[in-house]
Amino acid sequence: MHPHLFPTITLLLMIVTITLIHCPTSLRADDEKYLTCEAPFNCGNLVNLSYPFWASNRPNYCGHPSFQLDCSSNVPQINITTMNYRVLEINYSSWTLTVARTDYLDTICPAAFVNTTIDNNLFSYVTSSDTNLTLYYNCRLPLVDLPNLVPFQFNCSINNTNFINYYTQSSQTFSANSVLIEACNYWVNVPVLQSLVPTVITYDAVIAAIDSGFMLEWDASNSQCDTCLNAGGLCGSDPTTSTFACHCTNGTFASGCSTESTRSSSKMNARMREIIIGIAVAVLGIVAVYIIICYLRREQLSKEFIFRKTTRKNDENIKEFILNYGSLAPKQYSYSEIKKMTNSFINKLGQGGYGGVYKGKLPDGKLVAVKVLSESKGNGEDFINEVASISRTSHVNIVTLLGFCYEKNKQALIYEFMPNGSLDKFIYHQESSAKNCRLEWKTLYQIAVDIARGLEYLHRGCSTRILHFDIKPQNILLDEDFTPKISDFGLAKLCQRKDSIVSMFGMRGTAGYIAPEVFSRNFGRVSHKSDVYSYGMLVLEMVGGRKNFDVGMSNSSETYFPDRIYKDLELGMDGRTSGVITEEGEEISRKMILVSLWCIQTNPIDRPSMNKVVEMLEGTLHSLQIPPKPFLCSPKVSHVDSSTTS
Ligand SMILES: *[C@@H]1O[C@H](CO)[C@@H](O)[C@H](O)[C@H]1NC(C)=O
Ligand SMILES: *[C@@H]1O[C@H](CO)[C@@H](O)[C@H](O)[C@H]1NC(C)=O
Ligand SMILES: *[C@@H]1O[C@H](CO)[C@@H](O)[C@H](O)[C@H]1NC(C)=O
Ligand SMILES: *[C@@H]1O[C@H](CO)[C@@H](O)[C@H](O)[C@H]1NC(C)=O
Ligand SMILES: *[C@@H]1O[C@H](CO)[C@@H](O)[C@H](O)[C@H]1NC(C)=O
Ligand SMILES: *[C@@H]1O[C@H](CO)[C@@H](O)[C@H](O)[C@H]1NC(C)=O
Ligand SMILES: *[C@@H]1O[C@H](CO)[C@@H](O)[C@H](O)[C@H]1NC(C)=O
Ligand SMILES: *[C@@H]1O[C@H](CO)[C@@H](O)[C@H](O)[C@H]1NC(C)=O
């Protein structure tokens, strides 16, 4: 990430956080109230209820404090001035509710004699529908003076005492009222629906009428609720103050949906509290964002740290190199210089897993090979390997590093240019277009000796050995005089001389040249002898002029080449049947075959060291013993088995 992006992103995140965190404190919470109250609710057998009613299943802020319903039974109940009423019906178009006294349910003889009272601030009788029944209790027996009242007489057994009682409809029995008031201990007003009270009321009619209840109108047309509804809000209440509240989509207000009309001190306090909470949450949010940013930044830093660490390691190696070689140290170039010297990478010499190699020209006119390491190669391990290894070397048979480029994602190594390219071109002659590319035996022999010297030099190091791990024809470059130079130290490993055993995770090398112990530790420990094996395979290929393993070859006609050549040796045929040994090169080729077969012994201990190899190559043929037949690690195992038994 670009460093300048950080302040910008931080600022943006802060703004977003403040907006997101501050707004919801007023919006989300109240919006929630709006949404909650917007949905109607059911209570008992009454459905589609809303303000002013509320219940245990409905938040109190959605209703009026005095309109709490008890939904525990089928018929909801409401308390009006401590009296319990059953709510039979709620009509929102007329703002009325039909209620019946709970204490008169299924009886006309309640436990206590209580007048019907309503809260006149909230309710009013619907005079067009309601009428009063008056019930007289505990009357003196019998009222002989008013025999016409006998039909309106009823009995109640209260406290095991039978009482005579009367009922009248206020208007109808006006004349009797004064007598009854006189004669009875209690009288109670019970409103009923006029429509249910016939002119001559009967006992059954009274019971039915009382159970059917009466109608109350609630004070719905209050100005506050109207203002609120007109503003698009929903009427409700503030439970803390038990006052009216208007729930709007953008907040809850005392009336309407704006703060203009809500400048009461309690509202202001609530608003202030909201703002303070908002600010506090915003501050916390910013802190949280900073923590996240710091965390992300630390991740970023740790990545940079790894990079810097490798860079530092590399820098140390370069410093060491400069210290050791003074003016001979490779020059550091910028990537643009690299681009310039390769003419924008126009002339590609080769391609490897590491990246590409391009032909270039130094400002002084010297031709160079520029090896560009591909960006995907992680933290530049190959580059470090190569610089660390090669910066320690100075040998005629090891390629010379002239310069390098080390920028964040661009790494390149500048080598002396090898006009004759790599050895593979000259040994796999059947693949080459020009048949005359085949080198003379003498040249091949000299190349083999020189490579051995180069490797011996790498393995010899005073304190540190360099193990190459990728000896193969492609990595042997030839200068104009066909002097071989070992190149490509991307897989190289440095190891202390005293413990020449290398601990290694995973496999490195190229199939066909890897020593068996490198891909399976069952064969022994990985050491400089692993390079000896690869060298042996390389020399065998030089002798055979072909790949030891050729994936393209058919199994039936061809055998594993080292296997075949060994059989020739056993038969004393000097390899002639294999068609690789000519008269002129007989001694040389025989020597090379014997040495390489010693080199590819399965057990690393059986292989000679590189200085012994040089000795063997330079010595006489007679001094060389025929090596034991190596247990060859051919990929065609079954095939090898059948050929050995035959
Ligand atoms: C509930 O009331 C709304 C309007 O207040 C009406 O549209 C809807 O039909 C009613 N639902 C029932 C089941 O009465
Ligand atoms: C109504 O009042 C009665 C007694 O006063 C009480 O027992 C009852 O629980 C109250 N009901 C509600 C819903 O408040
Ligand atoms: C509600 O009251 C209106 C007006 O008084 C009336 O027309 C309507 O029928 C009533 N609704 C119910 C369900 O009783
Ligand atoms: C009911 O109210 C009347 C006056 O309206 C009163 O005389 C009577 O005693 C009351 N009854 C009871 C049981 O309180
Ligand atoms: C019933 O009587 C009460 C007094 O006890 C009175 O306040 C009320 O208005 C009467 N209701 C009707 C419908 O006349
Ligand atoms: C009330 O009780 C008396 C005597 O106990 C009885 O004569 C009368 O018929 C009863 N009235 C009614 C309506 O049941
Ligand atoms: C019934 O008796 C109880 C006490 O035993 C008393 O409090 C109550 O008032 C009595 N009821 C009537 C209607 O007299
Ligand atoms: C809330 O929204 C209403 C419109 O729905 C608007 O009239 C009112 O001013 C808004 N209130 C605030 C505090 O933004």
- Does any domain span residue 511? yes
Look at residue 536 in the predicted model and tell me its pLDDT: 92
pLDDT for residue 1 is more than 60: no
What is the mean pLDDT of the segment spanning 127-143?
Answer: 80
Q: Which amino acid is at 84?
A: N
- Does any domain span residue 96? yes
Look at residue 10 in the predicted model and tell me its pLDDT: 58
Q: What sign for the dihedral angle of Cα 400, 402, 407, 412?
A: negative
The span from the CA of 254 to the CA of 223, in Å, is: 12
Look at residue 227 in the predicted model and tell me its pLDDT: 84
Strands lying side by side in the sheet with 251-253: 234-238, 243-248, 251-253
Question: Do 434 and 469 belong together in one domain?
Answer: yes
Q: What sign for the dihedral angle of Cα 15, 16, 22, 26?
A: positive
Question: Do 12 and 62 belong together in one domain?
Answer: no
Look at residue 534 in the predicted model and tell me its pLDDT: 92
CA of 269 to the centre of ligand 8 (A): 19
pLDDT band at 644 (very low <50, low <70, confident <90, very high): very low
Please give the sequence-ordered ranges of beta strands (E in DSSP) within 5-91, or none if there are none.
41-43, 46-49, 69-70, 77-80, 83-91
Question: Do 13 and 152 belong together in one domain?
Answer: no
Residue 398 DSSP one-character state? B
- Does any domain span residue 248? no
| Least confident piece of the model among 15-19, 332-336, 411-415, 622-626 | 15-19
Residue 254 Cβ < 6 Å to ligand 8: no
Look at residue 119 in the predicted model and tell me its pLDDT: 87
Q: Of the segments 60-64, 171-175, 316-320, which one has the largest average pLDDT value?
A: 60-64
Question: Do 396 and 505 belong together in one domain?
Answer: no
Residue of minimum CA distance from atom 3 in ligand 5: 189
Q: How far is CA 123 from the centre of its chain?
A: 61
- Does any domain span residue 250? no
Domain's final residue, options 183, 218, 253? 218
Domain count, the chain: 4
Atom of ligand 5 nearest to the CA of 127: 13
Domain's final residue, options 389, 416, 443? 416
Burial 321-345 (b: 16+ CB within 10 A, else e): beeeeeeebbeebebebbbebbeeb
Atom of ligand 6 nearest to the CA of 155: 1
Question: Do 609 and 532 belong together in one domain?
Answer: yes
Residue 250 Cβ < 6 Å to ligand 8: yes
Question: Do 272 and 350 belong together in one domain?
Answer: no
Q: What sign for the dihedral angle of Cα 494, 499, 501, 504?
A: negative
Q: What pairing do the DSSP bridges indicate for beta strands 401-406 and 331-332?
A: parallel
3-state SS, residue 244: strand
Question: Do 340 and 460 belong together in one domain?
Answer: no
Domain's final residue, options 160, 187, 218? 218
| Least confident piece of the model among 69-83, 215-229, 376-390, 467-481 | 376-390
- Does any domain span residue 133? yes
pLDDT for residue 641 is more than 50: no
- Residue among 565, 569, 591, 570 at smallest CA distance from 580: 565
Tokens of 482: 């066909």
Question: Do 267 and 362 belong together in one domain?
Answer: no
Question: Do 611 and 463 belong together in one domain?
Answer: yes
Question: Do 97 and 183 belong together in one domain?
Answer: yes
Tokens of 429: 């002659």
CA of 69 to the centre of ligand 2 (A): 10
Question: Do 18 and 45 belong together in one domain?
Answer: no
Domain with 387, as residue range(s), is: 329-416
Tokens of 464: 């540190």
pLDDT for residue 201 is more than 60: yes
- Does any domain span residue 621? yes
User: Residue 543 in contact with residue 553, Cβ under 8 Å?
Assistant: no
Q: Mind telling me the catalytic residues? A: 470
What confidence tens digit (pLDDT) does each residue in 537-579 have? 999 888 877 666 544 444 434 456 777 777 777 666 544 445 5
Q: Is the pTM of this model over 0.85?
A: no
What confidence tens digit (pLDDT) does each residue in 265-308 have? 444 556 666 777 778 778 887 878 777 777 777 666 555 544 45
The set of long-range contacts for 618-625, using a CB threshold of 8 Å and a minimum separation of 24, is 618/449, 621/587, 621/590, 621/591, 621/594, 624/591, 624/594, 624/595, 625/594
Look at residue 15 in the predicted model and tell me its pLDDT: 55
How does the average pLDDT of the chain come out, rounded? Answer: 76
The span from the CA of 568 to the CA of 291, in Å, is: 75
pLDDT for residue 368 is more than 60: yes
- Does any domain span residue 616? yes
Q: How far is CA 260 from the centre of its chain?
A: 48
- Measured from CB, residues less than 6 Å from any atom of ligand 4 are 113-115, 186-189
CA of 257 to the centre of ligand 8 (A): 5
pLDDT band at 402 (very low <50, low <70, confident <90, very high): confident
Question: Do 334 and 438 belong together in one domain?
Answer: no
What is the CATH classification number for the domain harbouring 337? 3.30.200.20
More confident residue, 589 or 325: 589
Q: What pairing do the DSSP bridges indicate for beta strands 251-253 and 243-248?
A: antiparallel
- Does any domain span residue 252? no
Question: What percent of the chain shows pLDDT beyond 90?
Answer: 11
Q: How far is CA 516 from the centre of its chain?
A: 42
What confidence tens digit (pLDDT) does each residue in 441-456 have? 888 899 999 999 999 9
What is the CATH classification number for the domain harbouring 483? 1.10.510.10
Largest CA distance in the chain: 164
371 is in an annotated binding site: yes
| CA geometry: angle 619, 624, 626, nearest 5 deg | 160
Q: Which amino acid is at 86?
A: R
